[in-house]
């Protein structure tokens, strides 16, 4: 069962991180060059359902796997356990992603214009870097956690 959940987690991470890399490296530069916020809005509209579904799968499968690796969730932030530190890192990345994404959805996207494109670019860069951080933090589990 663990292997199937892990496979779903990795596939969802591929969709989430890959989508944000495409956004940051191809869509965003075009939108900035053209000063056209609609380019970003069109990508968001076409990617949002798939991307958010992938994130939901990652959260669900990640929590399930965390419970398998560190069964006592009260120990997820235990500083003396390498696997718990890795779980804590992933949870902190998730919280940071949620904060940046919520700010973008509630404050930046509703007012998106050519003038606010640079602010949106910072949000895209932040979420993209956080998503890559998720992937790299996931690799840590292969080696027994942080500080193992």
Residue range 90-145, pLDDT digits in tens: 999 999 999 999 999 999 999 999 999 999 999 999 999 999 999 999 998 888 77
pLDDT at 57 exceeding the cut of 80: yes
Q: Per-residue pLDDT averaged across 31-57, rounded?
A: 96
Asked if 26 and 39 touch (Cβ cutoff 8 Å), the reply is no
Give the tokens for residue 1.
């069962």
Q: How many whole angstroms separate alpha carbon 66 and alpha carbon 64?
A: 5
Token pair 């919520």: residue: 102
Q: What is the pLDDT of residues 1-23, one digit of tens each?
A: 999 999 999 999 999 999 999 99
Name, in order, each residue with C-beta under 8 angstroms of 111's C-beta and a sequence gap of 6 or more.
Answer: none
Give the CA distances from residue 62 to residues 59, 78, 95, 97, 134, in Å, rounded to whole numbers and listed in that order.
5, 18, 14, 15, 11
Taking the complete model, does pTM exceed 0.85, yes or no? yes
Give the tokens for residue 121.
């670019």
Q: What is the pLDDT of residue 146?
A: 76
């Amino acid at each position: 069962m663990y292997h199937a959940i892990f496979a779903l987690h990795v596939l969802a991470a591929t969709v989430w991180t890959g989508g944000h890399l495409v956004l940051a490296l191809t869509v965003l530069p075009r939108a900035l060059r053209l000063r056209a916020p609609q380019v970003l809005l069109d990508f968001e509209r076409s990617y949002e359902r798939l991307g958010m579904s992938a994130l939901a799968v990652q959260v669900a499968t990640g929590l399930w796997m965390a419970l398998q690796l560190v069964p006592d969730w009260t120990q997820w932030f235990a500083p003396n356990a390498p696997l718990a530190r890795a779980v804590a890192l992933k949870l902190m990345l998730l919280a940071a992603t949620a904060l940046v994404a919520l700010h973008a959805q509630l404050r930046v996207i509703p007012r998106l214009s050519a003038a606010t494109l640079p602010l949106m670019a910072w949000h895209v860069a932040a979420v993209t870097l956080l998503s890559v951080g998720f992937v790299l933090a996931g690799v840590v589990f292969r080696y027994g956690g942080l500080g193992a």
